[in-house]
Chain A
Amino acid sequence: MEEEPAAPAHWDPAGTKPMRRWLRKLEPYCWVAPACCVLFIFTHLPILLEGALSLLAADGFSPPRFIGLNNYLEVLSNQDFWEAIVHNIIYAATTVAGKIALSLFLAVLLNQNLFGRSTFRTILFLPVVLSFVAIGVIWTLFFNFDYGVLNAILNALGLRAVRQDWLGSADTALGAVIFVDIWKWTGFHLVIYLAGLQSIPKDLYEAALLDGASAFQRFWRITVPLLQPFTAINVLLASLGAFSVFDLIYVMTQGGPFKATNVAMVEVYLQAFQFNRFGYAGAMSVVLLGLVATMSVLILRLTKARTN
């Protein structure tokens, strides 16, 4: 490490000379430029381009052709896409409800002075660290009709009649994937709720206890309202995940059987990267972006209104 140099003769911290002043004005931009460049090329630019792309007939090889709103008209009349969106809505409603209810319940239980608390938290958080691919493969093997562990357990319990081709039947496939999604993320939402519970002052409960409030009342009147901001972020993150879900479905069912688990991103992926219909898939993405943005604003508005 070299020694601090003494202030040189032209030392001019106030930037009185024009050249210096110009350089000083430029300095902040030098600090942010590298991040801005990467972010612009790989996120802002594609988001901006998507709107333009959705107005083109483009396959990535032949020169693109401007076709106005035709892609959007085709999206509007594409029943597969709207059924996929319905699957996303079902997926969002059930995973959000399941994750929130389960993680809140477990967080309240775990907020007591229990033996093995941190071990429990560590194990419940483990699936969060694993990829959707690893988890999807594990559970696909579990749900397998002939050799899957789930059917073996049912067999051992004498419940042969309940055995199912869980991922191969249109009735159970979506439910099975939803189950796995809840399994993966419950630990994550649990940790956020635990942080929330730590922020509630203990004397509130003591006061309520003196007033004779039951455990049930204390939960609904104190815990739930004070956890509102944490519920908001949990709901927002879980919903965003549900509307952009792809990995788990791709690994477990590829959208099948008979499109029973087809979701918006699987449809976009097929149109763009199997059929090379970039403009058309772009229009779908814009519709999806609109849905996600509306949903995020709505969730934030609703939860903010309730906090006030």
Chain B
Amino acid sequence: MVSLPPHSPGSGYSRLGHQISKVLSYLILGIVLFWVAYPFIILLYGSLKSEGDFLTNPLSVPTVPHFENYVYAWNAAQIPKYTLNSAIVASATVLLTLALAATASYGLSQFRFRGGRLIYLSFILLLTIPVQIYIIPLYIIVVKLRLADNYLGLILPYTAGSLPLAVFLFRTYFDALPAELVDAARIDGCNHLRAFRHVILPLARPIIATVSIFTFVGAWNEFFLALIFIHDPNMATLPLGLQAFFVNQYQTQFPQLFATLLVSIGPIVVVYLLLQRQFIAGLTAGAVRG
């Protein structure tokens, strides 16, 4: 950058211009950061105030921290129960999605067979059809299979919802692995099941992580199907329980609501902060590779 012509018009690389643009960048990013983070800060402050303290002075830092709001969230809002339901549904969805997507992708990637292309195409076409659009027939099917108010009534549709993207990612990944890997295993006398388990699957760890993350987050946060399929409060997942609690709550009990919100988003936020790289990669994988 030393040999710039003296009158490079507006190149932004003169030293002063460079400094100014950097300061400006920090300023803008700072404002955006505040915009995104402020609700969480208020949530934290508000959750530690008494009701009266919050209503008279919603913006200030709490004077005396009131942890009883968290006790309330834990007991009255039944967040632990909903969290457990969500954990069961989301984990089962991840395991089932991984098992089905990995085997199907191995089949589509290793064999050329009649109907294979058609099957793959029918998977891929589903990538742009939101579940909302076929909710009514799906509801009828779930009711006819006696899966309403049942974990499986969520796990199976969630799995079906994750499968198209999961198969797309697994298949692209398997196709890119050298064909000699499986060939060599086959010559050594492995059948396909053993080649899949001992050769391909250990190599697929990155894609297993990706699929696990977007499937888990999707199932953990899903609300629409849960709202329609689950009516027993004991079976409610976290978003469903949170929504019901919010609707039934007195509208002035803000501190309790804040504490409940924080407890309910706590687990996913902690996991996200621990695995942020993997989360960001996993949740954008479909878009970046699509």
Contact = CB atoms under 8 A, between A and B. Distances in A.
A289 B136 CA distance: 13
B190 to A, nearest CB: 8
Contacts of A269: 135, 228
Interface in B239-270: 239-240, 242-243, 246, 251-252, 254, 257-258, 261, 264-265, 268-269
Contact of A123 (B36, B132, B164, B261): B36
Contacts of B119: 32, 36
A38 B192 contact: no
Contacts of B269: 126, 129-130
A257 B189 CA distance: 69
Contact of B137 (A53, A114, A142, A192): A53
Contacts of A49: 134, 137, 140-141
Given A214-B10, A285-B136, 17 more contacts: A6-B189, A28-B111, A38-B96, A42-B160, A46-B136, A124-B32, A124-B36, A125-B276, A134-B242, A137-B243, A137-B257, A273-B139, A273-B228, A281-B136, A285-B133, A293-B129, A296-B128
B223 A133 contact: yes
Given A31-B104, A34-B104, A212 B163 contact: no
Interface in A203-262: 209, 212-216, 233-234, 236-237, 240, 243-244, 246-247, 250-251
Contact of A34 (B100, B113, B131, B254): B100
A56 to B, nearest CB: 11
A34 B95 CA distance: 13
Interface in A107-147: 109-110, 112, 114, 120-134, 137-142, 144, 147
Contact of A141 (B157, B192, B257): B257
List the 8 closest A-B pairs by CB distance, nearest first.
A31-B107, A131-B221, A35-B104, A42-B160, A28-B111, A46-B137, A244-B130, A214-B10
A133 B79 CA distance: 14
7 contacts: A29-B113, A34-B104, A38-B156, A47-B129, A114-B29, A134-B242, A212-B5
Contacts of A138: 39, 43, 261
Contact of B134 (A47, A124, A149, A191): A47
Interface in B63-92: none
B19 interface: no
B37 interface: yes
B268 A129 contact: yes
Interface residues of B, number: 105
Interface of A: 4-7, 13, 25, 27-32, 34-36, 38-39, 41-47, 49-50, 53, 60, 106, 109-110, 112, 114, 120-134, 137-142, 144, 147-149, 152-153, 156, 183, 186-188, 191-192, 195, 209, 212-216, 233-234, 236-237, 240, 243-244, 246-247, 250-251, 265, 268-269, 272-273, 278, 281-282, 285, 288-289, 292-293, 296
Contacts of A122: 273, 276, 280
Nearest to A279: B136
B16 interface: no
Main secondary structure of the interface of A (DSSP, over half): helix
Nearest to B106: A31
A130 B36 CA distance: 13
B283 A128 contact: yes
B26 A114 contact: yes
B181 interface: no
Contacts of A45: 137, 141
Contacts of B58: 147-149, 152
B179 interface: no
B290 interface: yes
A215 B11 contact: yes
Contacts of B134: 43, 46-47, 49-50, 285, 289
B252 to A, nearest CB: 7
Contacts of A32: 103-104, 107-108, 116, 119
Given A5-B189, A137-B261, A31 B103 contact: yes
Contact of B32 (A106, A139, A142, A293): A106
A147 B252 contact: yes
B265 A292 contact: no
B176 interface: no
B128 to A, nearest CB: 5
B9 A214 contact: yes
B25 A114 contact: yes
A234 B26 CA distance: 25
A212 B40 CA distance: 45
B11 A212 contact: yes
Contacts of A265: 132
A289 B39 contact: no
